[in-house]
Structures are given as C-alpha cells and as structure tokens.
C-alpha cells in the first residue's frame, strides 16, 4: 500500500520542516513539499508533527519472574506500545538456568510469533555461561541478528552473574561487535541489606528502596565501566536512576570511552515517597532500581539534555497489583519487580520534556527513536525519516489532551504509574512499515504484523544523523 502524509511538521533528530512524506512497499520513497502523487491512503497532517516511530530498547514481555509471569504478552504489550507511538521494541530473551543460548532464543521467538503488532528485536540475557554453551557459541549469537548481551549484577541467587562471567562476556563482545548491557547494582551488598531488613521485621514496600540505596547502583556502574574499558568492550548501562550512576558515565564519556546510558520514563516522575503510600499501594512502584529521592530527577533531566544519558526507555515489565504484586504482601522482597509504561513514554516526555522546556523536539526524537536505532543496529532502517527508511511514522497531535490512566491504556496491567496525569500531545495515526496500526484511537491492524528484525553489529551506525533528502 502507498501512503502520502501531507503538510505535517516533519521532525527528526536533525530536521524540522513542513512537508509531505510518501511511502510505498513499506519504505519511505520521497520527502518534499506539495508532492503531486497518488496514494492508496492520504493523511492530512496539517498542524501535526510527523516523527519517526519510537523505539523502546528495554521491554520485558511474557517474562517469568519471581514465580509469576508478566501480565503483558507480545500481543497486549505491543498493542499498548503502538498506541503510544512505539513501532519497534527490543525485548530481553532471558536465558533460563541450564538452558543453551540458542534454545533460549527459540523460546522467545515462539513467544512473539503471530502475536507482535510492532517490529521486534532481542537482546540475549546471559544468566548461565556454563550451561549456555561454549564462548564460541556465545560469539555466534550476533549472526542471528541478536547483537547485544545483557548481564545482571543484581538478583543474587537467581539471575545475577559474577564479575568473572561479566568480564568474559565483555571480551566476547569486544571480538564479535556485540554491545554489553548491564543492570548495575551491587547484588551482594543488596542481598545482605535485604536479609537484615527482614530479620528486623521490616516488610513494607518502601524497604525495597532502603535496601537498594543509590550507592549500590553507583558502585556497580563504576565497576562495569572500568571492566568494559579494560576488555575493550562497548557498554550500555540500563535504567540509570540516580546521580551516583550518572557521574561515572559522565566521566567515561568525557574520556571518549564507548559508554552509553539510558534512563526510563518512571525515574523522571516517580520518587521514593510513592513507595510509602498506604494500603500496600506502594507495591505498584516496586521496580529495580527503585524510585529515588526527588532531587535525583533534576540530575537525570540534565544528563539527558547534555547527552550524558543517550536514551529514554520504559523497562516495561507489567505485573498486576492484585494477584501478582500481592505475592509480597508480607515480604517486600517477594513483590515482583517491575511496572508498566510502554504506552506512556512519548506523551509524558513530550509534555514534561518538550512543552515544559527541558528538551527540544529534535532531542526528544533523538532520545526516543534515533539513538536507540543507532546503538542497537537498526539505523537508518529505523529511527529517522529519510528515503529508504522503513515507513514507521507517527502523526502526532501536539494539542490533543489525554489523561494517563489504567482505564484508558491498552496494557493488561491493572494500574498506571501516572494515574490521573493530564498531558497535552498524543499520537493520532501510527504506521508500521506503511501499515496503519492506530487511527482515531482505534487499533486497526492484525496481530502478528510485527516482524523480527535482525540488527547490525555495534558501531556500524553511530555516525551523526544526516538531514532528510527533500525531493523537488
């Protein structure tokens, strides 16, 4: 199908102009002014923004954790993503204990096949290096288009790896063009703090944060950066939540090292006091790292503006408040860690980032689309608006007012982190490879339209974003 989007304000990481975008055979073929072309579908974008489909590089769909499974599978999770203007996500393929790497990948392909409505990539979360196979097997994973390895420096006794495993994987990544991602917290110290808190009878949700202080994140971030530098491996620090972790990333980037960091939407808006809400409502905000004291939020906004942090993801990991979070009613350490948010990111960042003057529109697109595409081997196929790129496009109405709420979102989660928050600006039409997913607040595509995307090896697409070519 051919699509012509007329008269929108086209915004990429580098561009900002009024024009038309034409796509056929799932790719953008022409950009210009007053294009005289016939199309199967014409969308009037006058007064609207036209931005690249957003990319969420940090999601957990259909994932087992703490004796339960996330509420959203690849159908409900990706439908929710589409309503939020996200057209590609990279999910974590979590290797089970004793499971070979390629068996884990096959398991995750089965989870998404026939369900996903946006395009999908995978990271391989390495939890058991011995059972996964040889280091040569690990080195072959990028041949499958899975070009990033995730390692957990926390969750002792479950998925945490030791420093030797982390360092060995970094060496493999350095040799194979893969990107190492770390969940950076000092797992041994946290494990001791948790046991001490429970022994003293402290079981409420806010103890989740008190046993994972910012220092444990800062120390692990520093340690991972230094090990990656020695190994010659690029490193991406996920869900940075506090100044203690920002500072070592800033130091490494000033040195010119291959270090990148992301934060997540929730760390910009949710603070420690949410965990203290009565009647177990604080459990809604139990995710890891935990919400920090409010003063850390200004440091995160500053790091995003100054490119110390390069991406905003969601870490969407939805568990029902009733029936799943309540597993930890009498023991905070048994509350499944995670929260929803895959649908809220663009609207929250546009309103509180762009409209309130913290970020430019170009920077918003860079953080939500272009940088994730470059870092995770998807650029320029995705993450920008240019001839030859996939026609992943969002027609965004900057005046539309919506209220974020569990009653309105499309996740199966029974709560919303931003319940009752009114924002100005929301997607009006969302297209994946030229196929309309969402229009007039209705989902109009079919489950399974999303495809698996093989990603390029790290570093092949890190050149500065170029300007779109305008046709005469």
The pLDDT tens digits for 116-144 are 999 999 999 999 998 988 999 999 999 99
What is the chain's mean pLDDT, rounded? 96
Lookup: tokens for 9 = 């304000």
Per residue in 220-247, pLDDT (tens digit) is 999 999 999 999 999 999 999 999 999 9
Band the pLDDT of 447: cuts 50, 70, 90.
confident
Band the pLDDT of 470: cuts 50, 70, 90.
very low
* Portion of the chain with pLDDT greater than 70, in percent: 97
Give me the pLDDT at residue 394, please: 99
The residue ranking higher by pLDDT, 464 or 121, is 121
Domains delineated in the chain? 54-375 (3.20.20.140)
Residue 462 pLDDT more than 80? Answer: no
Per residue in 23-51, pLDDT (tens digit) is 999 999 999 999 999 999 999 999 999 99
Lookup: tokens for 288 = 């890891």
> What would the mean pLDDT of 171-196 be, rounded to a whole number?
98
Give me the pLDDT at residue 467, please: 33
The residue ranking higher by pLDDT, 57 or 465, is 57
Residue 472 pLDDT more than 50? Answer: no
Residue 468 pLDDT more than 50? Answer: no
Residue 70: burial class (beta carbons within 10 Å; 0-12, 13-18, 19+): buried
* In contact, 86 and 54? CB cutoff 8 Å: yes
Closest CA to 322 of 384, 377, 279, 277: 279
Residue 214 has a CB neighbour count (10 Å cut-off) of 19
Closest CA to 316 of 68, 123, 77, 121: 77
DSSP 54-84: EEEEEE--S-EETTEE-S--HHHHHHHHHHT
Residue 464 pLDDT more than 80? Answer: no
């Amino acid at each position: 199908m051919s699509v012509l989007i007329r008269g929108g304000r086209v915004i990429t990481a580098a561009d900002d102009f009024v024009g038309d975008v034409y796509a056929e055979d799932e790719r953008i073929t022409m950009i210009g002014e007053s294009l005289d072309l016939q199309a199967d579908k014409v969308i009037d974008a006058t007064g609207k923004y036209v931005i690249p489909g957003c990319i969420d590089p940090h999601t957990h769909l259909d994932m087992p954790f703490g004796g339960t499974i996330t509420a959203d599978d690849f159908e409900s999770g990706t439908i929710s993503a589409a309503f939020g203007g996200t057209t590609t996500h990279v999910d974590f393929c979590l290797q089970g204990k004793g499971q070979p790497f390629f068996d884990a990948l096959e398991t995750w392909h089965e989870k998404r096949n026939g369900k996903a409505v946006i395009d999908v990539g995978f990271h391989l979360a390495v939890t058991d290096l011995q059972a996964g196979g040889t280091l040569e097997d690990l080195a072959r994973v990028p041949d499958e288009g899975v070009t990033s390895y995730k390692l957990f420096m926390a969750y002792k006794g479950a998925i945490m790896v030791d420093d030797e495993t982390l360092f060995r994987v970094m060496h493999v990544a350095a040799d194979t063009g893969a990107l190492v991602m770390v969940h950076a917290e000092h797992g041994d110290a946290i494990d001791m703090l948790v046991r001490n808190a429970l022994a003293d009878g402290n079981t409420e949700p806010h103890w989740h944060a008190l046993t994972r202080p910012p220092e444990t994140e800062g120390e692990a971030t520093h340690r991972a950066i230094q090990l990656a530098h020695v190994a010659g491996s690029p490193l991406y620090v996920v869900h940075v939540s506090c100044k203690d972790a920002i500072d070592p990333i800033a130091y490494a980037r000033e040195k010119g090292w291959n270090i990148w960091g992301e934060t997540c939407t929730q760390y910009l808006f949710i603070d420690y006091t949410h965990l203290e809400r009565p009647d177990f409502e604080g459990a809604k905000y139990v995710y890891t790292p935990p919400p920090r004291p409010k003063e850390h939020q200004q440091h995160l906004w500053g790091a995003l503006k100054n490119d110390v942090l390069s991406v905003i993801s969601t870490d969407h990991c939805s568990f029902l408040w009733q029936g799943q979070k309540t597993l930890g009613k009498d023991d905070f350490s048994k509350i499944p860690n995670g929260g929803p948010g895959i649908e809220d990111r663009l609207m929250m960042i546009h309103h509180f980032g762009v409209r309130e003057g913290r970020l430019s529109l170009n920077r918003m697109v860079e953080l939500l689309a272009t940088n994730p595409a470059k870092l995770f081997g998807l650029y320029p196929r995705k993450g920008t608006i240019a001839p030859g790129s996939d026609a992943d496009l969002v027609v965004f109405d900057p005046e539309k007012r919506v209220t974020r709420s569990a009653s309105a979102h499309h996740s199966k989660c029974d709560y919303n982190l931003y319940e009752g928050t009114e924002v100005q600006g929301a997607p009006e039409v969302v297209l994946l490879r030229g196929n309309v997913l969402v229009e007039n607040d209705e989902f109009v595509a079919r489950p399974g339209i999303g495809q698996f995307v093989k990603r390029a090896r790290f570093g092949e697409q890190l050149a500065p974003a170029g300007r779109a070519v305008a046709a005469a």
